Structures are given as C-alpha cells and as structure tokens.
Amino acid sequence: MTRPIVVVTGDGTTVNWGIWGDVRTCVLQWEYMEKVAQAGGAPVLLPPIPEVVESVMEKADALLLSGGPDVAPARYGEEPGPDTKPPRLFRDDSEFAALRLAEERGLPVLGICRGLQIMCIARGGRLHQHLPEHGPTVLGTYEPREIQIKPDSRLGGILGLSPTVYCHHHQGVAEIGAGMVATAWADDGIIEGAEEEDPDAPFRVGIQAHGELGDSTMPLFRALVEAASAGKRG
C-alpha cells in the first residue's frame, strides 16, 4: 500500500551552506522526517509560504506541526513580554492555515512543542510567554523530563502514564482552547500534552516535549501514521 503523506511544517531562516553565507533556506530537523518515515509515512516538508499551503494540504493524509520559534502573542490577544522572541509571521500564517485546512478535512494532526501551542491558540487558548524554570540549563541541549499522563486519555494509551521525554522550551500552554483537553503535566502542573476532547473525533494530539527525539515518543508517530492510513483507506 502507498505510504500516507504526512505534511510536516518547516521553518524559514538564513544559514551558512558550504562556501555560501547567508543562504535563505526552508529547514527542519532531520529527526522529524526520519521518525515519520520509520513509522511508515511519507514525510513532505511544507515551506512557510502561506500562498502554497492550500495546494500542499490538498495532497495531505495527515499534518505534523513541528517545534520552532515563539508564536506572535497577538494571536492570543496579548502584547509581547520582555522574554518573547520576535515572531516569524510568515510561519505563523502558514501553520494556522495548514491546521485549519487539516481540521476542515478531518485529517489527523500531531503537534510537537510549538505545534501543541498552535493547536491550542487556534481554539482560543493562550500561552505562558515565559517559563524560566522550564528552559534548558544549557541552550541548545534537550533535557530529559518525566511527565505524567492521564490514564484514560488517547495520549496515555499511546505513551503510557509516565514517559521520559526531551524538552527545550521557555513557553507553554496557559489555557487550552475550546474542544481540547489537557492530558499531560509536568511536576509543577504546567501542561505537557493535550488532545481533542471528543474521543470519537479525528486524531488530534499535541505534546510540549520534542517528540522527534528519543525512543519513548516513537509510538506517537506510529499512531499518527496509522490514523492517516485509516483515513486513506476510508
């Protein structure tokens, strides 16, 4: 059977590339694409170009919202705090559009870190703009953290009740949006995961940790691809 197409959101930035400096690129950490492929999906990178989102999403069987920079606070009705980084509005516009189209088509959605935040904001939720106690001890390193997951949740059925995950974030979900429910927490009560409140709704799950890292979260990618495959067969 043909692999289901999992559209994965990418970022736009400037990098040094070989002998070339300041090259504009569309990028994403390799682990996202690798895990989708290992789970049986065909990953397709979505560039953060708003005008192409609809055409790409027409081919999608699932959507993976990847981690990345801070979402513009205007999206949830706030002014930027002193520790909030400048937004990349082109990426915000692209990802909110991709999520809207995925929901309209009933596609499965997985949100990773920023992706979870996008899912909640799109439903009317808001963020903690700065959580210094959750930031990494060393920038650029992912720190292992055990989280607690609600037993009777979809996320709990996939990952178990207390998996160790890898984190690198300074923001988090303060309020879950309409139709979403929190299903995972850190020791201090900060939300670490959420999902669609209706258990019969399409697969829509988000996790604050960087699920593209480590083995404990591989079942999330399998669950996404399985949901995409089921929709493709249907």
| Distance separating alpha carbons of residues 136 and 144, to the nearest angstrom | 10
Pair of tokens at residue 27 = 């990028």
Catalytic residue list: 113, 210, 212
Look up residue 189 and give its two tokens.
């009560």
Neighbours of 102 (CB within 10 A): 22
User: What value, to the nearest 5°, has the Cα angle with vertex 215 and ends 159 and 62?
Assistant: 65
Measured between alpha carbons, how far is 47 from 94 in angstroms, rounded to an integer?
8
* Partners of 64 in the β-ladder: 8, 110
CA atoms 210, 216, 220, 222: torsion sign: positive
95 Rama class: left (phi>0) / alpha (psi -120 to 50) / beta: alpha
Tokens for 56, please give them: 């790409």
Token digits of residue 50: 């708003």
Token output for 217: 């979260």
